[in-house]
Protein backbone atom coordinates (compact mmCIF):
# COMPACT_ATOMS: atom_id res chain seq x y z
CA UNK A 1 0.00 0.00 0.00
CA UNK A 2 1.16 3.53 -0.69
CA UNK A 3 1.97 6.07 1.96
CA UNK A 4 -1.16 8.31 1.86
CA UNK A 5 -3.43 5.38 2.66
CA UNK A 6 -1.81 4.99 6.06
CA UNK A 7 -2.78 8.57 6.89
CA UNK A 8 -6.22 7.77 8.21
CA UNK A 9 -5.34 4.47 9.85
CA UNK A 10 -6.17 4.41 13.55
CA UNK A 11 -3.07 2.28 14.23
CA UNK A 12 0.19 4.02 15.06
CA UNK A 13 2.84 4.24 12.33
CA UNK A 14 6.24 2.80 13.22
CA UNK A 15 7.96 6.17 13.53
CA UNK A 16 5.12 7.78 15.42
CA UNK A 17 5.84 6.68 18.97
CA UNK A 18 8.08 9.54 19.89
CA UNK A 19 5.82 12.32 18.69
CA UNK A 20 2.84 10.54 20.27
CA UNK A 21 4.59 10.41 23.61
CA UNK A 22 5.28 14.13 23.42
CA UNK A 23 1.60 14.83 22.73
CA UNK A 24 0.18 12.63 25.46
CA UNK A 25 -1.86 14.49 28.05
CA UNK A 26 -0.13 14.13 31.42
CA UNK A 27 -3.00 14.73 33.85
CA UNK A 28 -6.70 13.92 33.93
CA UNK A 29 -7.50 17.61 33.63
CA UNK A 30 -5.55 17.79 30.37
CA UNK A 31 -7.34 14.80 28.88
CA UNK A 32 -9.88 16.00 26.34
CA UNK A 33 -13.26 14.32 25.85
CA UNK A 34 -14.52 10.99 27.26
CA UNK A 35 -16.39 12.91 29.99
CA UNK A 36 -17.99 9.78 31.47
CA UNK A 37 -14.80 7.78 31.76
CA UNK A 38 -12.96 10.82 33.09
CA UNK A 39 -15.51 11.52 35.80
CA UNK A 40 -15.75 7.89 36.87
CA UNK A 41 -12.02 7.46 36.92
CA UNK A 42 -11.58 10.66 38.86
CA UNK A 43 -13.83 9.29 41.60
CA UNK A 44 -12.02 5.96 41.67
CA UNK A 45 -8.63 7.66 41.99
CA UNK A 46 -9.67 10.35 44.42
CA UNK A 47 -11.29 7.85 46.75
CA UNK A 48 -8.24 5.57 46.64
CA UNK A 49 -5.99 8.52 47.47
CA UNK A 50 -8.19 9.42 50.44
CA UNK A 51 -8.19 5.87 51.74
CA UNK A 52 -4.49 5.69 51.06
CA UNK A 53 -4.97 2.37 49.26
CA UNK A 54 -4.29 1.32 45.67
CA UNK A 55 -7.49 1.68 43.61
CA UNK A 56 -9.35 -1.26 42.09
CA UNK A 57 -7.97 -2.74 38.90
CA UNK A 58 -8.97 -0.74 35.83
CA UNK A 59 -9.86 -2.02 32.36
CA UNK A 60 -9.84 0.44 29.46
CA UNK A 61 -11.56 -0.77 26.32
CA UNK A 62 -12.12 0.84 22.95
CA UNK A 63 -10.86 1.19 19.38
CA UNK A 64 -7.22 2.12 18.64
CA UNK A 65 -5.98 5.68 18.98
CA UNK A 66 -8.60 6.96 21.43
CA UNK A 67 -6.28 7.41 24.42
CA UNK A 68 -6.14 4.15 26.39
CA UNK A 69 -2.36 4.19 26.83
CA UNK A 70 -2.49 7.90 27.64
CA UNK A 71 -5.09 7.26 30.35
CA UNK A 72 -3.03 4.43 31.85
CA UNK A 73 -0.06 6.80 32.22
CA UNK A 74 -2.36 9.43 33.68
CA UNK A 75 -3.67 7.00 36.30
CA UNK A 76 -0.13 6.43 37.61
CA UNK A 77 0.66 10.13 37.44
CA UNK A 78 -2.48 11.07 39.37
CA UNK A 79 -1.69 8.46 42.01
CA UNK A 80 1.90 9.61 42.14
CA UNK A 81 3.13 6.04 41.64
CA UNK A 82 5.56 4.46 39.19
CA UNK A 83 4.15 2.53 36.24
CA UNK A 84 5.42 -0.72 34.74
CA UNK A 85 4.47 -1.22 31.10
CA UNK A 86 4.10 -4.51 29.27
CA UNK A 87 1.71 -6.13 26.82
CA UNK A 88 -0.28 -9.33 26.48
CA UNK A 89 1.81 -10.76 23.63
CA UNK A 90 5.03 -10.10 25.60
CA UNK A 91 3.89 -12.37 28.44
CA UNK A 92 4.34 -15.82 26.98
CA UNK A 93 4.87 -17.88 30.10
CA UNK A 94 3.38 -17.75 33.57
CA UNK A 95 6.95 -17.49 34.90
CA UNK A 96 7.52 -14.20 33.06
CA UNK A 97 4.46 -12.75 34.71
CA UNK A 98 5.33 -14.13 38.15
CA UNK A 99 8.75 -12.48 37.96
CA UNK A 100 7.17 -9.20 36.95
CA UNK A 101 4.50 -9.32 39.66
CA UNK A 102 6.89 -10.16 42.47
CA UNK A 103 9.08 -7.22 41.51
CA UNK A 104 6.28 -4.65 41.83
CA UNK A 105 6.52 -2.20 44.71
CA UNK A 106 3.56 -1.26 46.87
CA UNK A 107 0.96 0.80 45.02
CA UNK A 108 2.70 0.49 41.67
CA UNK A 109 0.63 0.51 38.50
CA UNK A 110 1.11 -2.44 36.16
CA UNK A 111 -0.08 -1.58 32.66
CA UNK A 112 -0.80 -4.53 30.38
CA UNK A 113 -1.63 -3.36 26.87
CA UNK A 114 -3.57 -5.69 24.54
CA UNK A 115 -4.43 -7.74 27.59
CA UNK A 116 -6.78 -9.97 25.56
CA UNK A 117 -3.66 -11.52 23.97
CA UNK A 118 -2.10 -12.77 27.20
CA UNK A 119 -1.22 -16.49 27.21
CA UNK A 120 -3.68 -18.72 29.06
CA UNK A 121 -1.40 -20.01 31.88
CA UNK A 122 -0.26 -16.46 32.61
CA UNK A 123 -3.87 -15.32 32.68
CA UNK A 124 -4.70 -17.91 35.32
CA UNK A 125 -1.82 -16.72 37.45
CA UNK A 126 -3.12 -13.19 37.05
CA UNK A 127 -6.52 -14.13 38.55
CA UNK A 128 -5.04 -14.89 41.95
CA UNK A 129 -2.64 -11.98 41.79
CA UNK A 130 -5.47 -9.55 41.09
CA UNK A 131 -7.77 -10.98 43.72
CA UNK A 132 -5.50 -11.87 46.63
CA UNK A 133 -2.18 -10.23 45.75
CA UNK A 134 -0.63 -13.67 45.81
CA UNK A 135 0.97 -15.99 43.26
CA UNK A 136 1.80 -19.67 43.44
CA UNK A 137 5.19 -20.28 41.92
CA UNK A 138 5.59 -23.88 40.79
CA UNK A 139 8.99 -25.32 41.53
CA UNK A 140 10.10 -28.57 39.93
CA UNK A 141 8.30 -30.81 37.46
CA UNK A 142 5.99 -33.82 37.51
CA UNK A 143 4.80 -35.46 40.74
CA UNK A 144 7.55 -33.76 42.77
CA UNK A 145 6.47 -30.26 41.76
CA UNK A 146 5.43 -28.00 44.60
CA UNK A 147 3.62 -24.69 44.64
CA UNK A 148 5.26 -22.01 46.70
CA UNK A 149 2.86 -19.19 47.57
CA UNK A 150 4.35 -15.72 47.36
CA UNK A 151 2.81 -12.56 48.76
CA UNK A 152 2.68 -9.59 46.38
CA UNK A 153 2.73 -5.94 47.27
CA UNK A 154 -0.76 -4.51 46.61
CA UNK A 155 -0.71 -3.05 43.10
CA UNK A 156 -3.18 -1.74 40.55
CA UNK A 157 -3.51 -3.50 37.25
CA UNK A 158 -4.52 -1.32 34.32
CA UNK A 159 -5.45 -3.39 31.30
CA UNK A 160 -6.14 -1.99 27.85
CA UNK A 161 -7.91 -3.81 25.04
CA UNK A 162 -9.28 -3.05 21.62
CA UNK A 163 -11.25 -6.32 21.78
CA UNK A 164 -13.09 -6.47 25.09
CA UNK A 165 -15.23 -9.28 23.68
CA UNK A 166 -12.19 -11.56 23.56
CA UNK A 167 -11.53 -11.23 27.28
CA UNK A 168 -12.50 -14.27 29.31
CA UNK A 169 -15.26 -13.83 31.89
CA UNK A 170 -13.07 -14.53 34.93
CA UNK A 171 -10.53 -11.93 33.85
CA UNK A 172 -13.17 -9.31 33.07
CA UNK A 173 -14.83 -9.90 36.45
CA UNK A 174 -11.65 -9.09 38.33
CA UNK A 175 -11.56 -5.50 37.18
CA UNK A 176 -13.32 -3.20 39.62
CA UNK A 177 -13.79 -0.53 37.01
CA UNK A 178 -14.14 -0.62 33.24
CA UNK A 179 -13.87 2.52 31.13
CA UNK A 180 -15.41 2.29 27.67
CA UNK A 181 -13.78 4.74 25.29
CA UNK A 182 -15.89 6.21 22.51
CA UNK A 183 -15.08 8.06 19.32
CA UNK A 184 -14.61 11.81 19.82
CA UNK A 185 -16.94 14.42 18.40
CA UNK A 186 -15.61 17.22 16.24
CA UNK A 187 -15.59 19.79 19.02
CA UNK A 188 -13.46 17.51 21.16
CA UNK A 189 -11.08 16.83 18.29
CA UNK A 190 -10.73 20.58 17.76
CA UNK A 191 -9.61 20.83 21.39
CA UNK A 192 -7.14 17.98 20.93
CA UNK A 193 -5.78 19.71 17.83
CA UNK A 194 -5.48 23.11 19.51
CA UNK A 195 -3.53 21.52 22.35
CA UNK A 196 -1.24 19.59 20.00
CA UNK A 197 -0.65 22.66 17.85
CA UNK A 198 0.45 24.54 20.96
CA UNK A 199 2.89 21.80 21.94
CA UNK A 200 4.29 21.49 18.41
CA UNK A 201 4.43 25.24 17.87
CA UNK A 202 2.08 25.16 14.91
CA UNK A 203 0.04 28.27 14.09
CA UNK A 204 -3.37 26.61 13.87
CA UNK A 205 -6.37 28.88 13.31
CA UNK A 206 -9.72 27.68 14.72
CA UNK A 207 -11.17 27.25 11.22
CA UNK A 208 -8.13 25.18 10.26
CA UNK A 209 -8.66 23.00 13.33
CA UNK A 210 -12.31 22.50 12.43
CA UNK A 211 -11.38 21.47 8.89
CA UNK A 212 -8.92 18.83 10.17
CA UNK A 213 -11.23 17.63 12.97
CA UNK A 214 -13.99 16.80 10.48
CA UNK A 215 -11.68 14.44 8.61
CA UNK A 216 -10.17 12.67 11.60
CA UNK A 217 -12.66 9.81 11.96
CA UNK A 218 -13.36 10.61 15.58
CA UNK A 219 -9.81 9.58 16.52
CA UNK A 220 -7.20 11.81 18.22
CA UNK A 221 -4.30 9.80 16.78
CA UNK A 222 -5.54 10.50 13.24
CA UNK A 223 -6.22 14.16 14.07
CA UNK A 224 -2.65 14.62 15.32
CA UNK A 225 -1.24 12.90 12.25
CA UNK A 226 -3.26 15.01 9.82
CA UNK A 227 -2.17 18.11 11.73
CA UNK A 228 1.48 17.28 11.11
CA UNK A 229 0.91 16.70 7.39
CA UNK A 230 -1.05 19.95 7.07
CA UNK A 231 1.74 21.73 8.94
CA UNK A 232 4.25 20.45 6.33
CA UNK A 233 2.10 21.82 3.54
CA UNK A 234 1.57 25.15 5.29
CA UNK A 235 5.30 25.57 5.78
CA UNK A 236 6.37 24.58 2.28
CA UNK A 237 3.56 26.07 0.17
CA UNK A 238 2.36 28.95 2.37
CA UNK A 239 3.35 31.09 5.33
CA UNK A 240 3.08 28.32 7.93
CA UNK A 241 -0.33 29.38 9.22
CA UNK A 242 -2.94 26.65 9.14
CA UNK A 243 -6.27 28.07 8.01
CA UNK A 244 -9.29 26.16 6.70
CA UNK A 245 -8.19 26.84 3.12
CA UNK A 246 -4.69 25.58 3.76
CA UNK A 247 -5.99 22.47 5.54
CA UNK A 248 -8.40 21.85 2.68
CA UNK A 249 -5.68 22.16 0.04
CA UNK A 250 -3.21 20.06 2.03
CA UNK A 251 -5.62 17.20 2.64
CA UNK A 252 -6.56 17.20 -1.04
CA UNK A 253 -2.87 16.53 -1.78
CA UNK A 254 -2.89 13.66 0.68
CA UNK A 255 -6.15 12.25 -0.73
CA UNK A 256 -8.14 12.57 2.49
CA UNK A 257 -11.62 13.78 1.70
CA UNK A 258 -14.28 15.74 3.61
CA UNK A 259 -15.39 12.70 5.62
CA UNK A 260 -11.89 11.39 6.24
CA UNK A 261 -12.11 8.76 3.49
CA UNK A 262 -8.89 7.88 1.69
CA UNK A 263 -8.31 6.59 -1.81
CA UNK A 264 -9.18 2.95 -1.01
CA UNK A 265 -12.35 3.87 0.90
CA UNK A 266 -13.53 5.95 -2.02
CA UNK A 267 -12.58 3.28 -4.56
CA UNK A 268 -14.73 0.78 -2.67
CA UNK A 269 -17.71 3.15 -2.55
CA UNK A 270 -17.22 4.09 -6.15
CA UNK A 271 -17.18 0.48 -7.34
CA UNK A 272 -20.21 -0.35 -5.23
CA UNK A 273 -22.24 2.59 -6.51
CA UNK A 274 -21.06 3.14 -10.06
CA UNK A 275 -20.33 -0.40 -11.18
CA UNK A 276 -22.83 -2.41 -9.17
CA UNK A 277 -25.71 0.04 -8.89
CA UNK A 278 -25.32 0.32 -5.14
CA UNK A 279 -25.46 -3.44 -4.51
CA UNK A 280 -26.14 -5.82 -2.98
CA UNK A 281 -22.87 -7.27 -4.17
CA UNK A 282 -20.41 -9.70 -2.60
CA UNK A 283 -17.25 -8.42 -0.97
CA UNK A 284 -15.08 -10.60 -3.21
CA UNK A 285 -16.53 -8.92 -6.28
CA UNK A 286 -15.78 -5.50 -4.81
CA UNK A 287 -12.25 -6.60 -3.95
CA UNK A 288 -11.58 -7.66 -7.55
CA UNK A 289 -13.05 -4.41 -8.83
CA UNK A 290 -10.69 -2.29 -6.71
CA UNK A 291 -7.70 -4.61 -7.14
CA UNK A 292 -7.25 -5.38 -3.46
CA UNK A 293 -7.32 -8.44 -1.24
CA UNK A 294 -10.70 -9.32 0.26
CA UNK A 295 -9.21 -8.95 3.75
CA UNK A 296 -8.01 -5.43 2.95
CA UNK A 297 -11.47 -4.39 1.83
CA UNK A 298 -13.12 -6.06 4.82
CA UNK A 299 -10.70 -5.00 7.53
CA UNK A 300 -9.21 -1.73 6.31
CA UNK A 301 -11.93 0.00 4.32
CA UNK A 302 -15.28 -1.36 5.44
CA UNK A 303 -15.32 -0.75 9.21
CA UNK A 304 -15.19 3.00 8.81
CA UNK A 305 -17.55 3.02 5.82
CA UNK A 306 -20.06 1.14 7.97
CA UNK A 307 -19.52 3.44 10.94
CA UNK A 308 -19.91 6.51 8.72
CA UNK A 309 -23.26 5.13 7.53
CA UNK A 310 -22.09 4.82 3.92
CA UNK A 311 -22.13 1.05 3.52
CA UNK A 312 -24.23 -1.73 4.99
CA UNK A 313 -23.27 -5.37 5.27
CA UNK A 314 -26.35 -7.45 4.54
CA UNK A 315 -26.81 -11.22 4.17
CA UNK A 316 -27.13 -10.72 0.40
CA UNK A 317 -23.99 -8.58 0.11
CA UNK A 318 -22.74 -5.02 0.50
CA UNK A 319 -25.19 -2.19 -0.08
CA UNK A 320 -24.51 1.51 -0.53
CA UNK A 321 -26.69 3.79 1.60
CA UNK A 322 -28.28 6.97 0.21
CA UNK A 323 -25.53 8.88 2.07
CA UNK A 324 -22.92 7.06 -0.02
CA UNK A 325 -24.60 8.14 -3.25
CA UNK A 326 -24.83 11.69 -1.95
CA UNK A 327 -21.16 11.65 -0.93
CA UNK A 328 -20.20 10.78 -4.51
CA UNK A 329 -22.49 13.53 -5.78
CA UNK A 330 -24.98 11.05 -7.21
CA UNK A 331 -28.68 10.36 -6.80
CA UNK A 332 -29.72 6.90 -5.64
CA UNK A 333 -32.15 5.18 -7.99
CA UNK A 334 -35.67 4.58 -6.69
CA UNK A 335 -37.89 1.58 -7.21
CA UNK A 336 -40.42 3.56 -9.25
CA UNK A 337 -37.78 5.60 -11.02
CA UNK A 338 -39.56 8.78 -9.97
CA UNK A 339 -38.09 11.77 -8.18
CA UNK A 340 -36.76 11.17 -4.68
CA UNK A 341 -35.98 13.17 -1.62
CA UNK A 342 -32.44 13.41 -2.91
CA UNK A 343 -33.40 15.23 -6.06
CA UNK A 344 -34.41 18.26 -4.05
Ligand X SMILES: Nc1ncnc2c1ncn2[C@@H]1O[C@H](COP(=O)(O)OP(=O)(O)OP(=O)(O)O)[C@@H](O)[C@H]1O
Interacting partner of 221 out of Mg ion, ligand X, none (Cβ under 5 to 8 A depending on kind): ligand X
Task: Give the ranges where the chain is alpha helix by DSSP (H).
Answer: 17-23, 35-51, 68-79, 94-102, 120-132, 169-173, 186-200, 206-213, 220-237, 244-253, 263-270, 283-290, 294-296, 302-307, 322-327
Q: Which residues pair with 287 in a beta bridge?
A: none
Please select the residue that binds ligand X; options are 7, 58, 66, 112, rule is CB under 6 A: 66
Q: Please, which residue, 184 or 325, has the CB nearer to ligand X?
A: 184
Virtual CA dihedral for 57, 61, 64, 65, nearest 10 degrees? -60
Asked if 209 touches ligand X (CB under 6 A), the answer is no
Write down how long the chain is.
344
Contact region with ligand X (CB under 6 A), list: 24-32, 39-47, 244-252, 263-271: 24-32
Q: Please, which residue, 66 or 271, has the CB nearer to ligand X?
A: 66
Residue of minimal CB distance from ligand X? 67
Give the contacts of 173 (CB within 8 A, at least 6 positions apart): none
Least Å distance, CB 197 to ligand X, is 12
Number of shown-chain residues binding ligand X (CB under 6 A):
21
Going by C-alpha positions, the residue among 334, 329, 326 that lies closest to residue 308 is 326
Give exposure, 3-21, as e/b (b: 16+ Cβ within 10 Å): eebebbbbeeeeebeebbe
Q: Are strands 58-61 and 177-180 parallel, antiparallel or unpaired?
A: parallel
Binding residue positions:
23-24, 65, 68-70, 131-133, 174, 184, 221, 313, 318
CA pair distance 258, 256, nearest whole angstrom: 7
Least Å distance, CB 15 to Mg ion, is 16
Rg of the chain, C-alpha, whole Å: 24
Q: Please, which residue, 201 or 343, has the CB nearer to ligand X?
A: 201
The residues that are catalytic are 68-69, 113, 162, 221
Contact 35, 187 (CB under 8 A): no
Contact 128, 101 (CB under 8 A): no
Asked if 24 touches ligand X (CB under 6 A), the answer is yes
**Sites for Mg ion among residues 61-100 (CB under 5 A):** 68-69
Helix (H, G, I), strand (E, B) or coil at 135: strand
Binding mask 217-256 for Mg ion (x = CB under 5 A): ----------------------------------------
CA pair distance 313, 25, nearest whole angstrom: 37
Least Å distance, CB 160 to Mg ion, is 6
Q: Please, which residue, 11 or 139, has the CB nearer to ligand X?
A: 11
Least Å distance, CB 21 to ligand X, is 7
Q: Please, which residue, 33 or 159, has the CB nearer to ligand X?
A: 33
Interacting partner of 23 out of ligand X, Mg ion, none (Cβ under 5 to 8 A depending on kind): ligand X
Contact residues: ligand X, CB under 6 A: 11-12, 20, 23-25, 31-33, 64-70, 162, 192, 220-221, 224
Amino acid sequence: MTEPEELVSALPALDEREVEASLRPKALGEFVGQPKVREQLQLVLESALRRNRPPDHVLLSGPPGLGKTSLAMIIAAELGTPIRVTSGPAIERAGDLAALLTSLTEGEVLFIDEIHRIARPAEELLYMAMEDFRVDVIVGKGPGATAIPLELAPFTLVGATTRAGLLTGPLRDRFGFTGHMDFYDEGELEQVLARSADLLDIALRPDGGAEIAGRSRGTPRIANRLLRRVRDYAEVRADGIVTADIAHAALAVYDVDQLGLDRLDRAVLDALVRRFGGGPVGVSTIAVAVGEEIATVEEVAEPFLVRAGLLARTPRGRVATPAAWAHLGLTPPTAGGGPTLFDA
